Structure formats: C-alpha cells, structure tokens
C-alpha cells in the first residue's frame, strides 16, 4: 500500500476536469439552473486562507448542485480597480495596470490550484476595458433617466487617500481604508439617487427569506425609514414669513412641547447669528467642538435661546421659544425639531440643563394622572394620552393619526416618511477607476458622451507615482471636443467608486461576451444568483449598492429581476493564535514551535529557542503576523486536506481557528480514506449486503445531503469521519461476502459524498473502485428513506424520570405493543415491585416513562 500522494494526483485530476470542460456553464432549458457566486476578490497579489475558505464553500455548493442535476453557473472575476494599485505605484514606481494584471495572473494560478469547479471562460476583471466600457454605457442610461446627477454638496473628504468617500465608507468618522479623520468639503460631485429606492430597498428585504436576519436588520437600520409628521410653525412676532418646518415621529406628544430647536447649520440659526454676535459665537463653538461624529455623539447638550418665538400649531396663544441646539443634525429631517422632554431623553437632558418646562402627556399603564412625574428618565413606553385636550384618552397610535389629520386640515403640514439613507456619492478623485463618460464644455456645460464614443479608456502613458489624480495631471487625455457643439471641452477626470464596478458584475457573468452590458436572454436564464457567499463586512456597502443598481437597471428594462441575490450566506473568518517575543515583536506561526506539557502549552522561537508568549486568537492579518500561507499548506498536505480542514472545524458562518494539528487531522483523514479504497476487494457476485452497513450507508447519504443543503459542512464532514470508522471496523480483508457486498455500495457512495469537499481524492477513489467516468460527472447518491430508519429500536425505560433499564421493540411500535413488551420483561417488572403504575408514557421509537408511586 502506498501513501496517498497529492502532489501527483491533484494536478492530474485538475487536468482531467479541464480537458473534459467539466465546469462549463451551459444554458439547458430542460434543466433547473443554479447560480453560485462568491464575492469576487480584490487582486492584492496573494491568496490567503480567507479566500481558501470562501471559495471552498462555494465550490462545495457548486459541485453538489451539479451532481444533483442542476445546470450550474460558477464564475470568477476580479474586483480590480482601487487604491492599493495606486498606492503601490506611489511606493514602488510600478504601473497600476501592470501591477494589477500581474497579481491577477498569480492569484488565478493559486485559485486554479485549489481545484475549484469554475467556468474560467467567463473570467473578467473590472479594469478590463471590455467591462468598464459597458459600465459607462449603463451609467449614461441612468444619467438620462435622472438616476445619476451632479450636485454641489458637503462631502466626506479623506485627506490621506485624497478622495471623497460615501457615507457608507465612513466608519466612526474615519475613512474605512485609510483610517484618517474625515473632513467635510464642499465639492461638485456625481451621485446616484439610491434614495429614490429607499422604500423598495426596505420593503423588499422581507422577500429575501434566504438572507441572514442580521444582514437584513443592518440594511434596515442603515436605510432608517421612519414615519411621522412634517409641519410648519408660524412665528409669533418677528421671524421669516414662511415659518419653520420641523419633522417629528411623535405628533402624539405635541401638547407636551417645551421648545423648538434648530441645528447650528440651519438657515434660521444663520439668520440669528447675523444680528446677534452671541448666537454667532455659539454656532462657531458648536462647529469647533464637533470634529468627528464620535465626538458629536458624546458631546454634552448645549443650546442658545435665539429670542424668537413660534406659536403652537393647535393654540395660537401658546408660544414656544426657538433654541439653537448642538444635538440637532442639519441633514436629517428638516434640521429642526419640536421638543417634548417628558418623552424624549435628549430633550429631557436639554431642558434639565436650561430650566425649561417638562409636561408629561403619555400616562403609563397603572399610573395615576394626578401623581405621575418624569424625573431624569424620559418615558418612551406605551400609555394613554392626557393633558392634551382633543387627544386625551387615545392610545399613542390613535393620537398620532389624529394629530396628523388635524395638522393636515389646518394646511400646516402632512404625514411624511423620512430616511436616514443619503444619495450615493460616486465621484472619486483617483485615476485607477472607471472614467465617468461625460465632458465639460464652456458653452454647453456638462455633456454626456454618445454611446458611440465609448469606451472612455485610460491613456496608455498615464503617469502615476505622485499623490492626487493622475488623469487630471495627464497632459492631453482630458482635452477633447464637445459632442454637442464641437468646440473644445475637457473630460471629467473623476472616476467611479469601485463599488459601482461590483454592483452589477454578477449580471455580466451571465454573458461576459455580450455587446450590451447585460444580455437579457442569458440574464433571464441565470439570474438571480441562487447562492451568494461572502463576508459580513459588505452588509451595508456592496450588498446595498448591488440591490439598488439591480432595481435601477430593471426599471430601465435591462434586467428582469428586482433582487440580485436570492440566497446570501455570510461566512466566518479564518483566525489563528498570535505569538510575540519578549520584546513585543510579532512572530509568524511557522517560526514558532509549540510543545505540550501536560495540559498547558509552551511556545518557543525555533531559531533561538527563546520563549514566546501565546496571545489571543485573531483574524489572520499581516499586521499581527499570524498568517499561514495557503501555498505552503498545499505543498505539504495537498489542496484537499486544506479545503477539508477550513470546512470541517467550525460551522460555516462562524470563525474557524487555523491550527497545525487541525490540518494534520484532515490530512490523516485523507490518508485513511485512501487506505480504505486502496485496500478495496471486489465483492463476490450476488451476495446479500450486510444490513447494518447498508443502513449506515443510507443514513450517511441522507445526513451529508442535508448538511450541504443547510450549509452545515462541518457536521456533514463529521458524519463522514464517523462512517469511515465504521468501515475500518469492518475491514475488506478476511470478511464475509455480505460485508464485502455492503462495502461495495458504501465505497461507491462515499467517493461521491466526499467529492464536494475533497474533489481530487474523490476522483482517485472513484477510479480505484472502477467508477464510471469522472466523479464530477457522476450523479449524487440517492438514499432509500426506509433504510435510514432502524428496524428495531432500543427504548430506554424510565421510572419517574430516572433511567431503570431498556427494552427492544420493533420500529414504530405503539403504546399497546410497548406495554406488552414491558409486562413480559422480568427486569422491568422487578423494578416495579410494590409500586402502583399511574401512567405509562410511550414516545414512539424514543423512550418509555413509567409514572408510579
């Protein structure tokens, strides 16, 4: 018997699959289709373990569905525009394009080595002119539809990356890539009207029943739809004639109003500042103190009374003061509020500081109107409205409806829906991105290019290597003629956010050769993506943008689906222990030797023998040096062992901890499997298969099938481990014809069941037992449901909830039959000596409990 040699077998089978074009996606109208997609990688240059896990999961699904008779699309591409290439250009003087394509070449080779069942003929990179030129085409379509527009606005400016960021790319006031504190700048920017779809994007989340709840909740929160009332206060005395618009979600508490507040940036605040130096000073102070969002959130509430007064909408004689308050945001609602401190914590904190009145108008259940008071905590729970004239006695929802109706009747406002979501700013002041296909003409202004002028490609001699936008600096590229007047014009030098690139790539995969951006015929067949797999970090970025673009393109008649991803799975990360020398320097796992001493572990640096501190388990990252290079693992253990390990050791949605012992365990399994197949002896003809092994085989098929369907790869693999132990206990040699016959069926099923996880090993095993053709082309094994149940069940017998013995009964035995067996059992009878049986509870095929006294 020879040891399994992955270095020889694995490349052999990859070649066989390629020669057979085993993974070519073909539209077959008679067959059900299945589109499996993993979030495409950024070509950073090297494959890491996270990629191995992500793409192995997708590969399990793709191979499984193919074996189950689906026509499968499983493509791969590259999210290839973006800053790292430009940063490499600045740091190392390389050309971003060359750098990117060289990285793609290397990573493609590594991905191919993983043995993924991908249709490589469909591969593209977003930096291919053939891709981004099509993107420019639909960009122009959306521009024409008014879904893309240009506006001067205050934007998030990342001073390190020298570009604008979308709101979604600002985390805790810092750039998501650079970590730099984001500044506010006023710029002319391209934006997409994602807010037009805010309602749909919220409502349609309910249809995504194969998405994790967590992601749906995150998107819902991000879009932040709230329903309420927009209405107008009229000024008492001086003040703008048009009044002051406010937004509230609590119109039911209008009679608890204490003051009216505006944001420091609000026009009314500006007006006050113009004639009141103290107001101006207060506004200035607010601006200074609020550099980051984190600071705004924790800042103490402060305000300034403008001296202006407004009339209460339901009582012209009731006047409310107008304050400027630092906690009011200009870009939400109308930038102005009415404050009801008794039922809003922020308002309460504010009025407690400035001595304004607090009047409760919602009476909590069980409280007495005469004695109920609000202390330091606002009451936001349910109750009955009081102190509120015509709203008295109503519950909160009824009072909201009544207040809105009254305001509408007065003509002072209407019910309104407000979103937290802002339009998507897509301009980036960087060269290594998709050029925006418009020109600026002195005479005609902003002019879209005709489609015949596409693609707008990068110049070949672009000079990177300095900060700022290289397209802007290029001596000739931007100078062109205006398609409208023929006069001189300059090209737009902003490029599109790379999230635009990734917002439609899944649709392009349906037919990457098509002249139009999306081939309707092919997209109608393949879309939506049946199973999308990727990290949770894109919950409100990529996944929201892709949903929006899908809807926008559907409305433009370019797509038939309104949701891109029918199923979403967010997989966990690959983690590893961290190691540090005494001086605090991080050390790579491969330089560390771990020795077990009893139950504790001790780490030393291999080179010097010095002790190393074992630190926390963290996501594999270069900064902590706790990475393990996939290619080194492939070299030692083979690809299959690596795939098996990252899938086997944790549930797919949770993090998996990479350990040497773990991958060695997977490697041992690979060898044990091969050993079992290598020792295979053909069964004598016509022998009746051993019933126990047969049942175990059919149970296994059922369990593995259900595990893959449910994304429980780890438990499916656990069942395979257990089954192998059973086979080892019934070895091929020196055995009965019955066992040999059962083993033949078992091995045939086993080879096909391991194929999604360890595809190379499966081929080798399949060949060894004389399987027909390639295992990738073999149908998934079927199980006989009758064989997955035992014919005879061992039922534990409890007396008063404690286990006192067991009986053997036929499967499905009912109460009467079981009671008969109980009576005939001398052991049980002995246990019941002197007791009166009150009740016998029989749970079919599970257990018997006798209640006795």
Element (H, E) at 174: strand 174-175
Q: Which is nearer to RNA, 381 or 773 (CB)?
A: 381
Closer CB to RNA, residue 92 or residue 599?
599
152 burial class (0-12, 13-18, 19+ CB within 10 angstroms)? exposed
Beta strands in 389-511 (DSSP E): 413-418, 424-425, 427-428, 434-435, 438-441, 445-448, 479-481, 488-491, 495-496
136: nearest Cα among 455, 512, 439: 455
What is the rounded radius of gyration, in angstroms, for the C-alpha atoms of the chain? 34
Nearest approach, Cβ of residue 700 and RNA (Å): 14
Name which of 103 and 169 has its Cβ closer to RNA.
169
Residue 462 beta carbon to RNA: minimum distance, rounded to whole angstroms: 35
Q: 476 burial class (0-12, 13-18, 19+ CB within 10 angstroms)?
A: exposed
Return the exposure string of 407-419: e unless at least 16 CB atoms fall within 10 Å of the residue's CB, then b: beeeebbebbebb
Burial of 675 (0-12, 13-18, 19+ CB in 10 A): middle
CA neighbours within 13 Å on the CB side: how many for 682?
7
Q: Based on CB atoms, which residue is closest to RNA, 725 or 736?
A: 725
Write down the least CB distance from residue 169 to RNA, Å.
11
The distance of closest approach from Cβ of residue 205 to RNA in the complex, given in angstroms and rounded to an integer, is: 14
Distance in Å, CB of 160 to RNA, minimum: 21
For RNA, which is the closer residue by CB, 553 or 813?
Answer: 813
Question: Measured between alpha carbons, how far is 43 from 78 in angstroms, rounded to an integer?
Answer: 6
Nearest to 369 by CA among 391, 394, 386, 390: 386
In the complex with RNA, the residue whose CB is nearer, 398 or 536, is 536
By the 10 Å C-beta count (0-12 exposed, 13-18 middle, 19+ buried), 597 is classed as: exposed
Q: Are strands 574-580 and 71-73 parallel, antiparallel or unpaired?
A: unpaired
Q: Identify whether the C-beta of residue 502 lies closer than 8 Å to the C-beta of residue 522.
A: no
Q: Position of tokens 């393990």?
A: 628
Least distance to RNA, CB of residue 724, Å: 9
In angstroms, the CA 225 to CA 811 distance is 55
Give min distance, CB of 607 to RNA, in A.
Answer: 16
Query: Toward RNA, which CB reaches closer, 160 or 636?
Result: 636
Bridge partners of residue 186, in order along the sequence:
154
Least CB distance to RNA at residue 104 (A): 30
Nearer to RNA, 51 or 250 (CB): 250
Q: Which is nearer to RNA, 461 or 709 (CB)?
A: 709
Which residue, 175 or 517, has its beta carbon nearer to RNA?
A: 175
Q: How far is the CB of 409 from RNA (least distance, A)?
A: 20
Contact call for residues 65 and 34 (beta carbons, < 8 A): yes
Say if strands 315-325 and 259-262 run parallel, antiparallel, or are unpaired.
parallel
Q: Which two tokens stand for residue 280?
A: 């101006």
H-state helical runs in 594-690: 630-637, 639-648, 660-678
Least distance (Å) from RNA to the CB of residue 619?
9
162-167 contacts: CB < 8 A, separation 24 or more? 162/429, 162/430, 162/467, 162/468, 162/469, 163/83, 163/428, 163/429, 163/430, 164/189, 164/425, 164/427, 164/428, 164/429, 165/425, 166/424, 166/425, 166/426, 166/497, 166/499, 167/422, 167/425
The nearest distance, CB 540 to RNA, in angstroms, is 7
Q: Report the alpha-carbon distance of residue 357 to residue 259 in Å, rounded.
A: 9
Nearest distance from residue 395's CB to RNA, in Å? 18
Q: Give the residue with the Cβ less far from RNA, 1 or 460.
A: 1
Complex with RNA: residue 188 or 221, whichever CB lies closer = 221
- Give the number of other CB atoms < 10 A from CB of residue 49: 22
Nearer to RNA, 555 or 678 (CB): 678
CB of 168 to RNA, least distance (A): 9
CA angle 13, 19, 20 (to 5 degrees): 90
For residue 242, whether the previous peptide bond is cis, meaning omega lies within 30 degrees of 0, is no
């Amino acid at each position: 018997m020879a040891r399994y040699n992955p270095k020889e077998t694995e490349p052999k089978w990859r070649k066989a699959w390629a020669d057979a074009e085993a993974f070519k996606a073909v539209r077959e109208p008679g067959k059900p289709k299945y589109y499996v997609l993993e979030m495409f990688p950024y070509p950073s240059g090297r494959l890491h373990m996270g990629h191995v896990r992500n793409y192995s999961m997708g590969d399990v699904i793709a191979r499984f569905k193919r074996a189950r008779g689906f026509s499968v699309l499983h493509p791969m591409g590259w999210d290839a525009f973006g800053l790292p290439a430009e940063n490499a250009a600045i740091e190392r003087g390389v050309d971003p394009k060359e750098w990117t394509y060289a990285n793609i070449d290397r990573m493609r080779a590594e991905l191919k080595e993983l043995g993924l069942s991908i249709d490589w003929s469909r591969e593209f990179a977003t930096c291919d002119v053939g891709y981004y030129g099509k993107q420019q085409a639909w960009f122009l379509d959306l521009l024409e539809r008014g879904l893309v527009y240009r506006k001067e606005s205050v934007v998030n400016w990342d001073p390190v990356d020298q570009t604008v960021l979308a709101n979604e790319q600002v985390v805790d006031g810092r750039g998501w890539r650079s970590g730099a504190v984001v500044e506010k700048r006023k710029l002319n920017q391209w934006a997409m009207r994602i807010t037009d779809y805010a309602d749909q994007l919220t409502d349609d989340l309910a249809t995504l029943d194969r998405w994790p709840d967590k992601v749906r909740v995150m998107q819902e929160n991000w879009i932040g739809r709230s329903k309420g009332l927009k209405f107008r206060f009229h000024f008492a005395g001086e003040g703008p004639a048009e009044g002051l618009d406010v937004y509230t979600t609590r119109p039911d508490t209008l009679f608890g109003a204490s003051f009216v507040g505006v944001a420091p940036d609000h026009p009314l605040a500006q007006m006050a500042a113009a004639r009141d130096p103290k107001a101006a000073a207060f506004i200035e102070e607010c601006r200074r103190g609020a550099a980051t969002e984190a600071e705004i959130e924790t800042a103490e509430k402060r305000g300034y009374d403008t001296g202006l007064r407004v009339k209460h909408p339901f009582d012209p004689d009731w006047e409310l003061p107008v304050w400027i308050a630092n906690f009011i945001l200009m870009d939400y609602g109308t930038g102005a509020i009415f404050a009801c401190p008794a039922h809003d914590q922020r308002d309460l904190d504010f009025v407690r500081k400035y001595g304004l009145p607090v009047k409760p108008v919602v009476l909590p259940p069980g409280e007495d109107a005469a004695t109920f008071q609000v202390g330091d905590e606002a009451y936001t729970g349910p109750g009955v409205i009081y102190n509120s004239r015509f709203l008295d006695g109503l519950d909160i929802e009824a009072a909201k409806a009544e207040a809105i109706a009254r305001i509408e009747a007065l003509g002072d406002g209407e019910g309104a829906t407000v979103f937290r979501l802002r339009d998507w700013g897509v301009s980036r002041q960087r060269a290594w991105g998709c050029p925006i296909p418009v020109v600026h003409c002195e005479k005609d202004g902003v002019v879209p290019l005709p489609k015949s002028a596409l693609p707008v490609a990068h110049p070949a001699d672009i000079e990177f290597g300095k900060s700022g936008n290289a397209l802007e600096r290029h001596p000739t590229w931007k100078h062109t003629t205006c398609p409208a007047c023929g006069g001189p014009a300059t090209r737009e030098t902003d490029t599109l956010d790379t999230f635009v690139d990734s917002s439609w790539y899944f649709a392009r995969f349906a037919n990457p050769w098509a002249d139009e951006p999306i081939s309707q015929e092919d997209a109608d067949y393949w879309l939506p993506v049946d199973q999308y797999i990727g990290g949770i970090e894109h919950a409100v970025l990529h996944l929201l943008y892709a949903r929006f673009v899908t809807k926008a393109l559907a409305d433009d008649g370019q797509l038939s689906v309104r949701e891109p991803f029918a199923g979403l799975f967010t997989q966990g990360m690959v983690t590893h222990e961290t190691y540090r020398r005494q001086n605090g320097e991080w050390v790579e796992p491969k330089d560390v030797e771990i020795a077990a001493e009893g139950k504790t572990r001790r780490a030393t640096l291999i080179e010097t023998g010095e002790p190393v501190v074992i630190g926390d388990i963290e996501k594999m990252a270069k900064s902590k040096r706790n990475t393990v290079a996939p290619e080194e693992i492939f070299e030692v253990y083979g690809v299959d062992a690596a795939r098996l390990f990252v899938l086997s050791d944790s549930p797919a949605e949770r993090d998996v901890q990479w350990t040497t012992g773990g991958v060695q365990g997977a490697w041992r399994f690979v060898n044990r499997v091969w050993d079992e197949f290598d020792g295979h002896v053909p069964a004598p003809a016509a022998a009746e298969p051993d019933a126990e092994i047969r049942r175990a085989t059919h149970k296994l098929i059922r369990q593995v099938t259900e595990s893959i369907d449910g994304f429980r790869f780890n438990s499916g693999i656990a069942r395979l481990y257990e089954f192998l132990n059973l086979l080892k206990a019934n070895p091929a040699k020196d055995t009965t014809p019955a066992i040999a016959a059962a083993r033949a069926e078992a091995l045939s099923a086993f080879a096909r069941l391991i194929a999604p996880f360890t595809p190379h090993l499966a081929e080798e095993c399949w060949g060894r037992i004389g399987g027909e053709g390639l295992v990738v082309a073999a149908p998934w094994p079927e199980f006989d449901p009758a064989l997955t149940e035992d014919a005879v069940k061992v039922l534990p017998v409890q007396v008063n909830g404690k286990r006192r013995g067991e009986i053997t009964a036929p499967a499905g035995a009912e109460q009467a039959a079981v009671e008969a067996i109980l009576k005939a059992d001398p052991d049980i009878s002995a246990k019941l000596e002197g007791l009166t049986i009150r009740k016998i509870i029989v749970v079919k095929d599970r257990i018997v409990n006798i209640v006795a006294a």
